[in-house]
Amino acid sequence: MFWGCVMRVSVVGAGLGGLALAQGLRGAGIETDVFERDPGIVARFQGYRLVLNLIGFQAVRDCLPTRWHPLLDEIVMDASAEQLILDPQMNEIGKLGAGRTGIVVDRQVLRHLLLTGLTVHTDAALTGYDVLGDGTVQARFARRDPATADLLVGADGVTSAVREVLSPQTIPTDTGVRFVIGRTPLTDEFAGLSKAYGSKITGDGVSLLLGAMRFRTPPKQAAEQLAPEVTLPDIGDYVRWAMILPPNGTLEDLTAQDAVLSRMEGWHPELRALIEQADPDNSTLLSIRVVKPGERWASGPVTLLGDAIHATSPTGGNGANTALRDADLLRRCLIEANEGRQDLLSAVHDYERQMFEYGAEAVRSSLEKLPAFAPDAKLS
Ligand SMILES: Cc1cc2nc3c(=O)[nH]c(=O)nc-3n(C[C@H](O)[C@H](O)[C@H](O)COP(=O)(O)OP(=O)(O)OC[C@H]3O[C@@H](n4cnc5c(N)ncnc54)[C@H](O)[C@@H]3O)c2cc1C
């Protein structure tokens, strides 16, 4: 056991990486609290479609209790391999390269599964931390009392407050590329768009990317049947669309939908209808920022995972995969320490050594793919 008592871990950030880690630690009997800045769990748009590769999918599976594996399998679908380049009338004008295969999952649905049974404190924005004389670490928050643990994990995304203290020299780069993302219920009206799913539609200096999310069983119903203790969101099939805008493009004062439609004059009517019928609560504008893991710090009772230390461009499709891989690797290293086979700092060091290597590679490969979508992106 961990020095004769139970190890305590504070995880900052209730994104995919932080929650997967917390689930894995909970399963191993390690005391884990999650602190999230948002005022509530569903306080903002979080529900886009992700493609997980086998490493990412296996990682999240291994962090979850085995009794939930049938539910996990029911709420995902296989990614189709075809990736074409189409013009705004949907004529094929090229191929995007080797198709992405993998497992498609809705981020919001997966996040709800990962939240089940965890202690998550919302409205808890970390503002700083102190390493105490006994080697423990005390996290400070804007609107709640400090919390002390044996290990503090910054899983707080690209603007990580934990990283600002632990590794102030690691600063995010704004590529200048913006994208508008949203989703539209998948009805029969859009059957004619199916060849465009997974493809890139190019016109007028912008790219539109479409992807279908089709559930085998609606997630809420799947949970009721397979794991009644889990509550999943009541959502149906949808098409996720994302328009990548060139750097310096103005968005005027438009809604997300109108910003996209203003760049689709003369496009295929079904493509325009898809954006017109989008769900406005699930459409938003995002920036592409990257974090390159640079200099290592001396391993201690504070570490980072996911976008906090290696944020990639979403065009690489590996940000969530890498965050989940971190969560699973750190989980396994901490179990070694908790069971007395290694001390805590060596376990953290082992995790960081491996994470820095594959994390840097994930960022590099995502940036390599960005110019195909945004030729003027700022890469350094
Ligand atoms: C449109 C889009 C599509 C994508 N598609 C894919 C894909 O197909 N495949 C893939 O692998 N990846 C994809 N990604 C990337 C993926 O979503 C992210 O890389 C992944 O979610 C990162 O997880 P994370 O846990 O590190 O951080 P996040 O999910 O960003 O979570 C960080 C959390 O920390 C909280 N937080 C921030 N600051 C504080 C603070 N000071 N105190 C407390 N809490 C704080 C935030 O509110 C947030 O909840 C995509 C991203 C986008 C935007």
- DSSP per-residue string spanning 171-204: --EEEEEEEEEEEEE--GGGGGGGGGBT-EEEET
Instruction: Tell me, in angstroms, the distance from the centre of ligand 1 to residue 341's CA.
Output: 32
Pocket of ligand 1 (CB under 6 A): 12-18, 35-38, 48, 50-51, 56, 124-126, 155-157, 159, 161, 181, 242, 286, 306-308, 314, 317-321, 323
* CA-closest residue to ligand 1 atom 35: 13
Q: Is residue 3 part of a domain?
A: no
Domain-located, residue 230: yes
- Residue 139 contacts residue 12 (beta carbons within 8 Å): yes
Task: For residue 126, give both structure tokens.
Answer: 């970390």
CA pair distance 158, 140, nearest whole angstrom:
19
Nearest to 283 by CA among 49, 47, 88: 47
Among 21, 268, 91, smallest CA distance to 276 is for: 268
Instruction: Dig out the tokens for 44 from the structure.
Output: 């903002």
Quote the crossing angle between the two packed helices 54-63 and 319-338, to the nearest 10°. Answer: 40
Q: What is the mean pLDDT of the chain?
A: 91
- The verdict on residue 2 lying in a domain is no
Of 150-154, 293-297, 302-306, 318-322, least confident by mean pLDDT is 293-297
- CB 314: neighbour CB atoms within 10 A? 23
Does some domain include residue 65? Answer: yes
> Does the residue 379 lie in any domain?
no
Show the tokens assigned to 35: 């602190």
Residue 252 confidence (pLDDT): 61
pLDDT above 80 for 291: yes
In this structure, is residue 26 part of a structural domain?
yes
Count how many domains the chain has.
1
Give the three-class secondary structure for 200. strand
pLDDT at position 99: 63
Q: Which of the four pLDDT bands, split at 50, 70 and 90, describes residue 297?
A: very high
At 203, the pLDDT band (50, 70, 90 cuts) reads confident
CA distances from 108 to 42, 213, 309 (A): 9, 12, 22
Q: What is the pLDDT of residues 5-56, one digit of tens each?
A: 789 999 999 999 999 999 999 999 999 999 999 998 876 767 789 999 999 9
Which residue range(s) make up the domain with 252?
8-372
- Whole-number pLDDT of residue 250: 62
Using pLDDT thresholds of 50, 70 and 90, give the confidence band for residue 374.
Answer: confident
In a domain, 179, yes or no: yes
117 pLDDT band (50/70/90 cuts)? very high
> How do beta strands 8-12 and 31-35 pair?
parallel
| Residue 377 resides in a domain | no
Quote the ligand 1 centre to 289 CA distance (angstroms): 12
Q: Which CATH number belongs to the domain containing residue 311 in this structure?
A: 3.50.50.60
pLDDT for 251: 60
Question: Does 137 score more than 90 pLDDT?
Answer: yes
